[in-house]
Amino acid sequence: MLERIRIVLIGTSHPGNIGATARAMHNMGLADLALVAPRGESRSAEAISRASGADKILHHAPVYDDLESAVADCRLVVGASARSRTLPWPMLTPRALGERLPAELAEADARVALVFGREDTGLTNAELQRCHAHVHIPTNPDYSSLNLAAAVQVLAYECRLAWLAHQPTDATPEADPAPAMPRDAEAEAAKAAASAEHEAVFGIAWDHPPASHADLERFFDHLERTLIALEFHDPDKPRQLMARLRRLYMRARPDQMEINILRGILSATEKKTATRDPGES
Amino acid sequence: MLERIRIVLIGTSHPGNIGATARAMHNMGLADLALVAPRGESRSAEAISRASGADKILHHAPVYDDLESAVADCRLVVGASARSRTLPWPMLTPRALGERLPAELAEADARVALVFGREDTGLTNAELQRCHAHVHIPTNPDYSSLNLAAAVQVLAYECRLAWLAHQPTDATPEADPAPAMPRDAEAEAAKAAASAEHEAVFGIAWDHPPASHADLERFFDHLERTLIALEFHDPDKPRQLMARLRRLYMRARPDQMEINILRGILSATEKKTATRDPGES
């Protein structure tokens, strides 16, 4: 889908912006760049430097004389506009644009163009009127001039999010989570199952399974004994001490390794206290 | 809300990126930029040129020696990370980060820091471990190196969307958000929302405000000293002990009372250990 989204830059003055656009596109998985009447040398050293490894996109970008030719094969053409002009036009937010793309690009040969104007004056009214819709990136009303490549970055980001959301749910769209998991398939499956619970909480595969309820309770018993030995806790005047500690630790959903560490600390504390008791008496 | 989101750039090499970051911030209504040990001249002609009118942000940006000092007053510190490191850490998408901010910033003096690393090497593990959570911008797995200012642009955009979504529905957020809330109503809303601060995190109104970053760091220092005294921790063979403990406690977002309790336990432990040392020798 992403390869059929074309970024069209019209009348760009600064080659650095073309390079930075190529980089922003490549980062988000887009590859189809078209230039309309660029005003500088679009493949200058500065453009290539700012493309930072994405210069393949730059070198492949065709140059057209006008918008018409650049978007002739596109089914949907959306123009980036700072604000609505005199004549109201269908207006999309970047998010709404992204959400429309999977359906727009469902057919294998469907193409969509996102059109960006000049750094200084944007798109002309004639160009805007060649668009099916306009997209406006919400900006600070006191300072609305987005850098060209920054505007491309935001829209390309929304395109990528829409594409990721459209992947089958069993896919792993986020690149390469593999290193988080052990290689061995069986261990991997077990670990995946174990970490699923933490994943819901933390949004990431976890390295150790969550501690069981019984592990947690043993930890709280151990903690309370230790706090009594430290004379920090008086069970006859409990205040809310144990309740507050329970709330803190349970909120964190400790994993098995973390509980082992916490219990190790408690044992070390008990040992220091115990071995020194005779010395004290 | 947006004015209390701090963008922290660590060890930036290219002043142009600092300028472009200032522009991206100003476009999205952010204003609080902090620089940690920039490697170039952060207010160079190139930086000012790339800031393109947003150079006020650049000139006001304080320069710090380390991350600690730059985020000491922040309650939530989120580090931008290309991918999860060896030790998994709570991970947010840019969108989930944005959605959390209105509640995180409900209290009038609450601040959040978004931390960005060096152009070449990102954030160090030590820096990442000072963050409550990491945020990862989804990128093309074949080409994941986002330009620094482009990464700031994407996160600042999500911050702005979250802020716009949080405005009263009868407002017209796109045009001129300033008058959307009269001053009185704004103060009242902030007050009412203050109890909701932890609510996004814990799903319930909370009894104590969250501990600041500085409070947390003092706790971690104290914890490490105590673990060394207990001979549980050897700084020469750290394994991942402190990293795992940091991850556990930062995940729980301790409130001020909880940090007081934890430090009280550490003091009680130190006292027992110290008073018995002479008896042992």
- Residue A5: closest CA among A117, A118, A68, A97: A97
User: Which chain A residue's Cα is nearest to B264?
Assistant: A232
Query: Does the beta-carbon distance from B264 to A232 stay under 8 Å?
Result: yes
pLDDT in tens, A177-188: 333 333 344 444
pLDDT tens track for B146-170? 999 999 999 999 999 999 998 876 5
pLDDT at position A60 over 60: yes
Cβ separation A261–B244 shorter than 8 A: yes
Q: Half-sphere exposure (CA, 13 Å, Cβ side) for B5?
A: 26
Query: What mean pLDDT, rounded, does chain B reach?
Result: 85
Mean pLDDT of B180-200: 44
- Asked, colleague to colleague, whether A2-165 and A213-280 share their fold, the answer is no
Q: Which helix (H) or strand (E) holds A237?
A: none
Domain spanning B213-280: CATH 1.10.8.590: yes
- The distance of B243 to chain A (nearest Cα, Å) reads 11
Look at residue A205 in the predicted model and tell me its pLDDT.
66
A-chain CB neighbours of B253 within 8 Å are 251
Of all residues in chain A, the one with the smallest CA distance to B178 is A141
Do you know the residue count of chain B? 281
Nearest residue on chain B to A152, judged by CA atoms? B150
Give, in order, the Cα–Cα distances in Å from A153 to each of A7, A136, A150, B91, B206: 11, 13, 5, 22, 38
pLDDT over 90, % of chain A = 53
| Residue from B134, B109, B86 nearest B251 by CA | B134
Boundaries of every domain in chain A: 2-165, 213-280
Instruction: Say which CATH topology domain B2-201 has.
Output: Alpha/beta knot (3.40.1280)
Contact predicate B38/B18, CB 8 Å: yes
B218: which residues sit within 8 A by CB, 6+ positions away? B263
Chosen from B5, B144, B154, B202 to mutate, greatest number of chain A CBs within 10 A: B154
Across the interface, which of A26, A139, A153 has its CB nearest the CB of B154? A153
Confidence of residue B83 (pLDDT cuts 50, 70, 90): low
Among A166, A83, A153, CA closest to A114: A153
Q: What is the pLDDT of residue B197?
A: 47
Are A27 and B272 a contacting pair at CB < 8 A? no
pLDDT band at A85 (very low <50, low <70, confident <90, very high): low
Which CATH fold topology does A2-165 show?
A: Alpha/beta knot (3.40.1280)
Contact B150 A52 (CB under 8 A): no
pLDDT value, residue A217: 84
**Higher pLDDT, residue B159 or A129:** B159
Predicted confidence band of residue A87 (pLDDT cuts 50, 70, 90): low
Residue A154 C-alpha, separation from nearest chain B C-alpha, in angstroms: 6
Residue A5, both tokens: 């989204």
Chain A CB contacts of B227 below 8 Å: 265, 268
Reported as a single tens digit per residue, the pLDDT across B221-278 is: 999 999 999 999 999 988 889 989 998 998 888 999 999 999 999 999 999 887 654 4
| Residue-wise pLDDT tens digits, A235-279 | 898 888 988 898 889 778 888 999 999 999 999 999 988 765 444
Q: Which pLDDT score is estimated for A183? A: 38
Chain-chain contact of B150 with A146 (C-beta, under 8 angstroms):
no
Q: Chain A closest CA to B246's CA: distance in Å?
A: 11
> How large is the average pLDDT for residues B198-223?
76
CA separation (Å) from A7 to A130, A222, B262?
15, 62, 54
Lowest mean pLDDT among A47-56, A135-144, A163-172, B28-37: A163-172
Q: Name every chain A residue with its beta carbon within 8 A of the beta carbon of B230.
A: 265, 268-269, 272
Asked if B257's CB is within 8 angstroms of A244's CB, the reply is yes
Residues of A in contact with B175 (CB under 8 A): 141
The CB density around residue A200, as the number of other CB atoms within 10 Å, is 9
Structure tokens at A157: 């980001």
Region A165-173: mean pLDDT is 65
Strands B63-64 and B32-36: parallel
With CA atoms as reference, report the closest residue to B252 among A249, A116, A134: A249
**Chain B: nearest CA to A77, how far in angstroms?**
23
Residue contact A261–B276, C-beta within 8 A: no
Q: How many CB pairs under 8 A join A and B?
A: 182
Task: Return d(Cα A7, Cα A32) in angstroms, integer.
Answer: 6
Looking at chain B, the whole-number percentage of residues with pLDDT higher than 90 is 62
- ipTM, 2 dp: 0.75
Helix, strand or coil, per DSSP, at residue B113 = strand
B251·A252 Cβ contact <8 A: yes
Spell out which residues of chain B touch residue A245, defining contact as CB-CB under 8 Å: 258, 261
